[in-house]
Chains A and B, each alone.
Chain A
Amino acid sequence: MEERAVKHRVEPLVLAHIGVAFAMFAVAAVLGAWQMMARSPFGAPYASPETYFASVTAHGTIMAYVMPILFIMGFGYFVAVTALDRPLPSMRLAWTGFWLAAVGICMAVATIVMGEASVLYTFYPPLTGSVYFYLGLVIVVVASWLWVALMIWAMAAWKRENPGHPVPLAMFATVTNAILWLWTTGGVAVELLFQVIPAALGWTQTIDVGLARTLFSWTLHPIVYFWLLPAYIAFYTMAPQAAGGRLYSDMMGRLSFILFLLVSLPVGLHHLFMDPEHGTGFKFVQTMLTAVLLAPTLLTVFTICASMEIAGRLRGGRGLFGWIGALPWDRPMVLATGLAFILLGFGGFGGVVNMAYGLNAMVHNTSWVTAHFHLIFGGSVVIMYFAITYEIWPKLLGRQPLSLKHIRGQLWLWFVGILLTTLPWHALGLLGQPRRVATFDYSNPAIASWGPWTEASVVGGFIMLASALLFVWNLATLYRSSPDVDRMRYAIAVNPPQRLPKALNGFALWNALVLFLMVAAYGYPIGQFFLIDVHPALVHHFESGG
């Protein structure tokens, strides 16, 4: 019997998750380009506040929730099976999760399309939409919790069968991300279940807006690390292998993922710097914690550069920088990693501006913020999602791609597009352009100067749209060539670990630390709403006209 690239019957499951993720991604990409036209001097067909804000809600809900959750679930199943070389603990549970997610997505998207949920992906009570929107998203989150359970279960079962052995880094990092996600969803789950859904059902007529925003902020920062960690998994375990080198340090990789788990959670208040329901004390504390969060990314940048340097020098690169040119840039995973690092530089810069306490006042809720998260997520992270998919697609379909040129072309198009889209937004942010505006009055001389920047951005947006469609096209049509596919190989460290302390092979200590940090950072900021005299606001239902 011919050896299959992926054992343990998981291909349909992974293909289903990633296929749906990117099908919805393509739709959201079209909406994004349309939105950009609508708010530019060009204008767009069918544009009105109703259609614009429904589109923004759809674009945000798909890009921030649906696409990443499904992609990460699918990728996680792939890693669990290939890195641990054992079947998933329960295929039935995994498929239940998929279908549950599908139901939730249909519910949420239906309400958006019907115009009954134009509350954006950040919800922002007291604006309240159809209860089916929120319920749909709750169902998607519950589905993702099934994935979390499977990831933890898979790792625990492997450890039982391999006592004392280090969990392969790719799986250790995947489970770190799963645990991170579980903690992350706490805030939004409580906000939806106890505040927003009762309001949407009409069971309550008022809502404590400060508490809702604070609970949402708990989720809002670590969710971006939930999105980011799979890209880092590719940096650590796939890029060095693709480049023909070795991972410089497996241990530092584990430490970085642990640091992300610890420090990405207790920092959400930096999304509320401009909010009047919190004082300087806790805003300052969470600023300092956010500064610590810079460390694992900067450590990763070095470790991956060192790993790539090994590969480059093995290929004959000499001198201080010769190894860079010597790398096999024709390989998509290598190319994507290089492009991702450049985008990470720009996006990281924007982030360090946003997190800097008083400095946030200069940019909050301007296009600078839009620029930052599109660049870092849409840019460096999504380009790695593309690369990961290109890497595992042959294993899933059992076919090699016909052309790497089309793949590289799509990646370059994305790189150019995201920069052309987001760099002008940084300038517009400094000029004071507000977020979430459907249309600008370009005849106003003060606003007219924003026009050219916006137009440049629109061109970038359409380049991105072309790249997004080309990506889906590549996946659908390129994989026809020879059925000679190797099984999945993850990067090997320079010094593969033989034995590891429990702390680098499990999560008991880290979960305890997360609990401590969350209580310290969020205990009072959340608790205060039950202690001070708050005046809740009236619920504003959208269906009644907004």
Chain B
Amino acid sequence: MSISKQSRDANRTAEVSDPADEARLEEVLKTVPKGALTLAGIALGLLLLAWLAVYFLIFLPRGPIS
């Protein structure tokens, strides 16, 4: 067994969570990512609105360019 595999296995034992944690995670994953989708969606929507506002309310009225 190479040293790195030993440490890897040791790391894995340290990281693997117990069954209670896994159960909580499964429970939580039933709702995730509704909140994230909403938050990210709102942020993206605001970004798009702000860009459209700058484009149509400030840029175009300043005149043509080419």
Q: Which residues of A contact B (CB under 8 A)?
A: 85-86, 158, 161-162, 246, 248, 298, 301-302, 305-306, 308-310, 312-314, 319-321, 323-324, 345, 348-349, 352-353, 356, 358-359, 361-362, 430, 489, 492, 494
Contacts and interface: CB of A to CB of B under 8 A. Distances in A.
16 contacts: A161-B4, A162-B4, A301-B40, A302-B36, A305-B33, A305-B39, A306-B36, A308-B36, A313-B28, A320-B38, A345-B43, A349-B47, A349-B51, A353-B51, A356-B55, A362-B58
A320 B41 CA distance: 13
Interface string B23-66: 01100110111111111100110110011001100110010011
B62 A306 contact: no
B37 to A, nearest CB: 7
Given A298-B44, A348-B47, A85 B8 contact: yes
A492 B50 CA distance: 36
A407 B13 CA distance: 32
B4 A85 contact: yes
B29 A494 contact: yes
A320 B58 contact: no
B15 interface: yes
Contacts of A362: 58-59, 62
B9 to A, nearest CB: 11
Contacts of B47: 345, 348-349, 352
B13 to A, nearest CB: 13
Contacts of B5: 161-162
Contacts of B38: 320-321
Contact of B32 (A306, A319, A492): A306
B61 to A, nearest CB: 11
Contacts of A310: 25, 28-29, 32
Nearest to A308: B36
Report the 9 A-B pairs with minimum CB-CB distance, sorted nearest first.
Answer: A305-B36, A306-B33, A306-B36, A313-B28, A302-B40, A361-B65, A309-B36, A309-B35, A85-B7
**Taking each of B7, B11, B44, which has the highest tally of chain A beta carbons within 10 Å of its own beta carbon?**
B44
A359 B4 contact: no
Nearest to A490: B15
B11 A85 contact: yes
Given A86-B4, A359-B59, A248 B28 contact: no
Main secondary structure of the interface of A (DSSP, over half): helix
A308 B35 CA distance: 10
B55 A359 contact: yes
B28 A349 contact: no
Nearest to A319: B35
B33 A352 contact: no
A288 B16 CA distance: 44
Nearest to A84: B4
B62 A321 contact: no
B33 A248 contact: yes
Contacts of A246: 25
Given A308-B36, A310-B29, A313-B32, 16 more contacts: A85-B7, A161-B2, A302-B37, A305-B33, A305-B36, A305-B40, A309-B32, A309-B36, A319-B35, A324-B39, A345-B43, A345-B47, A356-B51, A358-B59, A362-B58, A489-B15
A457 to B, nearest CB: 20
A308 B59 CA distance: 37
Given A345-B47, A353-B51, A309 B33 contact: yes
A494 B40 contact: no
Contacts of B65: 358, 361
A305 B37 CA distance: 8
A306 B25 CA distance: 13
Contact of A320 (B2, B34, B43): B34
B21 to A, nearest CB: 9
B24 to A, nearest CB: 6
A489 B44 CA distance: 32
Contacts of B54: 353, 359
A112 to B, nearest CB: 36
A430 B53 CA distance: 14
B11 A314 contact: no
A63 to B, nearest CB: 26
A301 B35 contact: no
Contacts of A356: 51, 55
Contacts of B8: 85, 162
A356 B47 CA distance: 14
Contacts of B46: 345
A149 B46 CA distance: 42
Contact of A352 (B36, B51, B59): B51
